A and B are shown apart, each in its own frame.
Chain A
């Protein structure tokens, strides 16, 4: 069974193709130069489609790290 993290990794890999997979858990708006407004919107759109969930406006500002996104998805899909 594919876990949330495995599916999330696919989204991250598409949006940040140059980021090694082992670095994903540390990735955040603060640590990743490529993570800007456009990347954020693209990433959250990909996640929304991959997991079939709707994002709220506030999510676009608060979901700014891999760790937070995992927590958000685990809560949302529980």
Chain B
């Protein structure tokens, strides 16, 4: 039987080696950069509390498992609640034979937080999470994709992933013509592949974005509760992840009044990932979406991907988004039945900016 305790900064190098072995198949490797990042993200974040922080599992004096946890303040029905966002659950199955991962989740769920959630859980983690008493938030687990450059999108999501000789040839041929043909498609079918927006799209800094978000707010019962200092930290961290150029934008209507905002990674020639999108009024959501797509198209993005917001499924569908449920789920756990019910009926603002999608773990080589 192993021991569970809080992750400490001095555990960083051992946990980094464990991560590289389990997640990257690089046994025996170490990464001081990753060790520093683990400490920085999980211990130096503005919301860290040891009572609900990252955990390690020790067996025979060795760290064999890790559960990354970061606390985030939220509001539910107007009262302050604390959410624990889970990122990175891994175990060395060559050293640990047992129920350690289950025990780590049970330990987390017994903590003082009102809600635990993760937004990028693989199937195995989802199985464990549900067995340990949590739920899958199915409505939030759908992702959507909006194509801007059709050939490039097909290439990236289908042809380019195939490894056999014939497909390599096809991939090479498509790569040669996709740029010009996509440009023609965008010219001929402007509304479809190069959306137009009546809104002015304004680049902003973190402070201005937060002022806009605070002024507009959300209508959902459960929502993030940002403050200037921690929001600044969050945006700074998100900007260092190599998913693309982090863009903070607000939109203004013809009267110059802010109508919404969006935060996403622009990747010219590739998929752009949305962290958050919001609008002042429900009827403005589609136009803000169109502004996002227009911005991404102008920046050369081949498609835009985001997480479904249950109350916006019709708007997303009307704006030609295709829904998918990849092997990645949003999982929740709460002892509060009202809070769980709010999430299951889609009355929660759980965005990627509030989850783990901006963390650098999967974006780096960690050499």
Residue of B nearest to A64 (CB): B99
How far is A35 from B98 in the complex, measured between Cα atoms in Å? 6
Please judge, given known A-B contacts A57-B133, A60-B102, whether A38 and B97 are in contact too, CB under 8 Å.
no
Please judge, given known A-B contacts A36-B91, A37-B102, A38-B124, whether A29 and B131 are in contact too, CB under 8 Å.
no
In the bound complex, residues from chain A placing their C-beta under 8 Å from that of B130 are 41
Residue of B nearest to A60 (CB): B131
How far is A28 from B276 in the complex, measured between Cα atoms in Å? 46
In the bound complex, residues from chain B placing their C-beta under 8 Å from that of A42 are 127
**Contact: B97 with A37, CB < 8 Å?**
no
Check if B93 is an interface residue, CB within 8 A of chain A: yes
Check if B100 is an interface residue, CB within 8 A of chain A: yes
Check if A52 is an interface residue, CB within 8 A of chain B: no
How far is A30 from B99 in the complex, measured between Cα atoms in Å? 10
Please judge, given known A-B contacts A42-B127, A45-B127, whether A37 and B99 are in contact too, CB under 8 Å.
yes
Residue of A nearest to B97 (CB): A33
Q: Nearest Cβ distance between residue A72 and chain B, in whole angstroms? A: 16
**Contact: A38 with B128, CB < 8 Å?**
yes
Residue of A nearest to B101 (CB): A37
A23-78 residues at the B interface, CB under 8 angstroms: 29-30, 32-38, 40-42, 44-45, 57, 60-61, 64
How far is A57 from B131 in the complex, measured between Cα atoms in Å? 7
In the bound complex, residues from chain A placing their C-beta under 8 Å from that of B124 are 38
**Contact: A41 with B131, CB < 8 Å?**
yes
State the main secondary structure of chain A at its contact with B. Answer: helix
Please judge, given known A-B contacts A36-B91, A37-B91, A57-B133, whether A29 and B127 are in contact too, CB under 8 Å.
no
In the bound complex, residues from chain A placing their C-beta under 8 Å from that of B149 are none
**Contact: B99 with A61, CB < 8 Å?**
yes
In the bound complex, residues from chain B placing their C-beta under 8 Å from that of A44 are 131
In the bound complex, residues from chain B placing their C-beta under 8 Å from that of A37 are 91, 98-103, 128
In the bound complex, residues from chain A placing their C-beta under 8 Å from that of B340 are none
Interface string of B78-104 (1 = CB under 8 A from A): 000000000000010100111111110
Q: Nearest Cβ distance between residue A57 and chain B, in whole angstroms? A: 6
**Contact: B133 with A38, CB < 8 Å?**
no
In the bound complex, residues from chain B placing their C-beta under 8 Å from that of A57 are 132-133
Q: Nearest Cβ distance between residue B136 and chain A, in whole angstroms? A: 13
Known: A30-B97, A37-B98, A40-B102. 7 other contacts (CB 8 A): A29-B97, A33-B93, A35-B97, A37-B100, A38-B101, A44-B131, A61-B102
Mark B residues whose CB is within 8 Å of A.
91, 93, 96-103, 124, 127-128, 130-133
Mark A residues whose CB is within 8 Å of B.
29-30, 32-38, 40-42, 44-45, 57, 60-61, 64
- Which are the 8 A-B pairs with shortest beta-carbon distances? A37-B101, A37-B102, A41-B131, A41-B127, A38-B124, A33-B97, A37-B99, A60-B131
> Can you list 16 contacts pairing A with B, beta carbon distance less than 8 Å?
A29-B99, A30-B97, A36-B91, A36-B93, A36-B100, A36-B101, A37-B100, A37-B101, A37-B102, A38-B101, A38-B124, A41-B131, A45-B131, A57-B133, A60-B131, A61-B99
